[in-house]
Chain A
Amino acid sequence: MPATLRAVLRGLESALSSPPEEELRVRFAMRYVAPTSIEEAVSVLDGAVAAQVYAGATDFIPQLRMGRPEPGVAVDLKRIDRLTDLRREGNTWVIGAATPSARLAEEDDLVAELPGLVEAAGLIGSDQIQSRASLGGNLCNASPAADSVPAMVVNDGRAVIAGPGGMRTIPVASVVTGPGTTSLASGEFLVELVFDRPPPQTADAYLRFIPRTEMDIAVVGAGARLTLDEAGRCQEVSVALGAVAPTVVMVPAAEDILVGHTLTDDALKRVAAEASAVCNPIDDKRGTKAYRRQVAGVLAVRALKLAADRAARTGS
């Protein structure tokens, strides 16, 4: 049989075997609800069988386009004032779960105090996306490559969660349980994220590796935060890596190696090796396992150096 005829037959065969478009399926259109208070949102979620809360919808709508079934109700959280707030409260920064990333970069004091967190949030998508994307959405979408999560974790961020049982606060690090899954129970949603204002000589940094300049998903992301003493020795160190495991991984050895010491080349070389060792990456089109491990070590060191430069500049 000629090759062209075979190709035509194969085409016919697949056309006949694939089911027709689901025109007969009854379609219940998704409802849209925009509660204006936390209490109202809790009660909406309590009564709904298949509700999905959302903030900027920058992941939600593309997921619907990719074939995810529409929920019965889409619950827009942006009309709740507390969820789109950004304020300094005592010794903390409180950022609404749905506050757009663009807002973070416009808050000069936040940029000065938590530059790594702001740069991590600012790396997410284009200006268009920045108008909608939020820390809360980035966290709850639970992508292993979420840029803001390592930066939130190194800053000991806390997640305030509302639900039928009232409010509870947990570490940001325990929100994501795996790719696309969180520890939030049915009916619960994220209200805000809380970060302590950094003490003197303390700073954070976040670096992401992508093979282009903009508009890509992290091959590896590294967040670092440290506190220096007068002599430039590390007093506290925190390093977290993204896109190299199902969830963000910490590099606890960085603390063991660096506390009490300055950032010498030798110490940083050991930190890089430890960072590479804690990774549990996958092979995909963005990079191989070996490549991700290597880059994780390099980025962790660069993020630490950047955080140290910033910490030294903040003065005591």
Chain B
Amino acid sequence: MSRTHVTCTINGDPAEFLCEEDQTLLDTLRDVVGLMGVKEGCATGDCGACSVILNGRLNCSCLVFAPEAEGATIETVEGMAGPDGLHPLQETFLEGAALQCGICTPGFLVAGKALLDRNPDPTEEEVRYAVAGNLCRCTGYDKIVRSILDAADRMGEAAPAS
């Protein structure tokens, strides 16, 4: 069976991979590209563990066929930390103990980033709606929500509105 060649941009870097035509982007990112931060939970779009930002929009990578990524821009949790250290969301998740087992964490971080990218100063309600597509069975969500709000505050202080 011949494989499909896909050229795209992953976390800012040009990337190429070979995939089966019925393979999901989730399986390809993990098994071919080696980005293990993208987690498989339900594989049916309910849990958000496989969240990535695809062409600027938050997506469940389990609901995307890999060949669709041709020409796309993909952001995963692996691309969140910069040269100067962790992303503010990653810092506040650590400080606020917003994780226990950790399997949902990359998805929450990516969903949190997608929210703060378009809404840098969200209300608690907006945060709760923004992560409604991410399931966590450990924390009860409160610490996650507070950590996202804390990150928004921290990013707001670092870059005051002009």
Cβ of A74 and Cβ of B22 under 8 Å apart?
yes
Beta-carbon contact of A125 and B45 below 8 Å: yes
Decide if A296 is an interface residue (CB 8 Å cutoff). Answer: no
The answer to the question of A291 belonging to the interface, with a C-beta cut-off of 8 Å to chain B, is: no
Interface string of B108-122 (1 = CB under 8 A from A): 000100110000000
Q: Give which listed residue, B21, B44, B59, B134, contacts A30 with CB less than 8 A.
A: B21
Known pairs A32-B22, A127-B132; A132 contacts B63 (CB<8 A): yes
- Given A126-B48, A128-B51, decide whether A61 and B62 contact each other with a Cβ distance below 8 A: yes
Most chain B CB within a 10 A radius of its CB, from A62, A102, A128: A128
**In contact, B130 and A32 (Cβ under 8 angstroms):** no
Over the window 17-29 of chain A, the binary record of Cβ atoms lying under 8 Å from chain B Cβ atoms (1 yes, 0 no) is 0000000000001
- Docked Cα-Cα span, A63 to B20, in Å, equals 19
Q: Tell me the nearest residue of chain A to B56, going by C-beta.
A: A131
Residues 81-115 of chain B, each 1 if its beta carbon lies under 8 Å from chain A, else 0: 00000000000000000000000000000010011
A72 shortest CB reach to chain B, Å: 11
Within 8 A of A (CB), among B31-70: 43-46, 48, 51, 54, 57-60, 62-65, 67-68, 70
- A70 interface hit (Cβ, 8 Å): yes
A205-227 near B? 1/0 per residue, CB < 8 Å? 00000000111000000000000
Q: Is the CB of A62 within 8 A of B68?
A: no
Instruction: Report the Cα distance A213→B125, complex, angstroms.
Output: 11
CB of A68, distance to nearest CB on chain B (Å) = 12
CB distance from A41 to the nearest CB of B (A): 15
Pairwise interchain contact A65-B44, C-beta atoms closer than 8 A: yes
In the complex the two chains form, what is the Cα distance from A213 to B20 in whole Å?
38
- Is A187 interfacial (CB 8 A cutoff)? no
Which residues of chain B are within 8 angstroms of A125 by Cβ–Cβ distance?
45, 133
Using A29-B20, A31-B21, A65-B43 as known contacts, say yes or no to A128 and B58 having CB atoms under 8 A apart.
yes
Interface of B is mostly: mixed
Q: Indicate if the CB atoms of A57 and B57 lie closer than 8 Å.
A: no
Chain B residues within an 8 Å CB radius of A76: 65, 67-68
- Cα separation A127 to B129 with both chains bound (whole Å): 8
Contacts A57-B64, A58-B45 given; indicate if A128 touches B111 (C-beta within 8 A).
yes
Chain A residues near B22: list those with CB within 8 A. 29-30, 32, 70, 74
Mark contacts of B121-162 with chain A using CB atoms, 8 A cut-off: 1 yes-contact digit, 0 otherwise: 000000001101110000000000000000000000000000
CB pair B67–A62 under 8 Å, yes or no, is no
Other-chain contact of A34, B1, B64, B67, B134 (Cβ < 8 Å): B67
Residues of A contacting B4 with CB < 8 Å? 32
Chain B contact-residue range equals 20 to 34
Number of contacting residues on A, CB 8 A? Answer: 27
* B28 interface contact, C-beta 8 A: no
**Taking the complex as formed, is B73 at the interface, i.e. its CB lies under 8 A from any CB of chain A?**
no
Q: Which residue of A lies closest to B53 (CB)?
A: A131
When distances are taken between beta carbons in the complex, the residues of chain A under 8 Å from B57 are 100, 102, 131
B76 within 8 A of A: no
User: Which residue of A is nearest B51, CB measured?
Assistant: A128
B107 vs chain A, min Cβ distance (A): 9
Chain A's closest residue to B134 (CB) is A126
Task: Report the Cα distance A125→B129, complex, angstroms.
Answer: 11
B141 to chain A, nearest CB (A): 12
Chain A residues 93 to 146 lying within 8 A of chain B, measured CB to CB, are 100, 102, 125-129, 131-132
Residues of A within 8 A of B48 (CB): 126, 128
Q: Which residues of A contact B (CB under 8 A)?
A: 29-32, 34, 56-58, 61-62, 65, 70, 74, 76, 78, 100, 102, 125-129, 131-132, 213-215
Q: Which residues of B contact A (CB under 8 A)?
A: 1, 4, 20-22, 24, 43-46, 48, 51, 54, 57-60, 62-65, 67-68, 70, 111, 114-115, 129-130, 132-134
**Which 6 pairs across A and B sit closest by C-beta, in order of nearness?**
A126-B133, A131-B57, A32-B21, A30-B22, A62-B44, A214-B132
Q: Can you sample 20 A-B contacts with CB below 8 Å?
A: A30-B22, A31-B21, A32-B65, A32-B68, A58-B63, A61-B62, A61-B63, A62-B44, A65-B43, A65-B44, A76-B65, A102-B57, A127-B58, A128-B58, A128-B59, A128-B133, A129-B63, A131-B58, A214-B129, A215-B132
